[in-house]
Amino acid sequence: MEARGIDNFVKFTYFHKEQNKSFKNNPFLPDNLFYNPEGNFYVCPMGQELEFIGQYQRISDRGDQSEFSLYQAKRCEGCPLRGSCHKAQGNRRIEVNHNLKRHKDIARTNLTSEKGLMHRSKRPIEPEAVFGQIKSNRKFNRFRLKGLEGVAVEFGLISIALNISKMAKKPSIEAKSSFKAAKLSLKNLIFDSTLYYRDWWPVMLNYNRFSAI
């Protein structure tokens, strides 16, 4: 997206969790630690620096390559906050993917902007329900064809099948709606009739008695 000049409004993992107060107010989380980019080190809540000690690469199952930086504190022994900070036996160590963190910062800024809030309000209404039907109900979790043309053909067939199923259900839905409307009308009619007889029956009874006299 960045290479193609596309704005990043993609929700990343833990985006919604970050909005919680428990996440924001936890000073021990790596995302909440102060980072000094010039010195390339983090600072723990007790003021101790977590120094850069090296890098390593990780390759995912799909072949994506990521680079992680390692940071470690010098002396955690005797720290009064150690129990809340980490459970490791030695000094605390964290790993950070700076490139991923940069993309997350951009996405977070865009998603919380006025334009991002507008897109987020439309997303659960327009595409989420359709994707839920395709992935969960239709069990379509992975494309079988390769290339953009193959994916376009496969997703087109899935979309056609979903639209046909909606068209097939539409008459039954309309029939149920008509039946519910008729049932509601009958219920209202009975209720109105009951109110009519309740209000006017004593009047009519007295009128008949007066007429008989």
Q: How far apart are CA 59 and CA 40, in angstroms?
A: 24
**Residue 205 pLDDT more than 50?**
no
Q: pLDDT digits over 176-197, tens only?
A: 666 566 556 655 544 454 444 4
Q: Are residues 33 and 42 in contact, defined by beta-carbon separation less than 8 angstroms? A: yes
Q: pLDDT digits over 70-85, tens only?
A: 999 988 888 888 888 8
Strand partners, 70: 54, 95
Q: Residue 170's pLDDT is what?
A: 75
**Residue 60 pLDDT more than 50?**
yes
Domain map of the chain by residue range? 15-126, 147-213
Q: Stretch 26-40: mean pLDDT, rounded?
A: 92
**Structure tokens, 182:** 């008729």
Q: pLDDT digits over 108-155, tens only?
A: 999 999 999 888 887 766 677 788 888 888 788 888 888 888 889 998
Q: Nearest 5°: CA angle at 117, between 114 and 122?
A: 130
Strand partners, 71: 52, 94
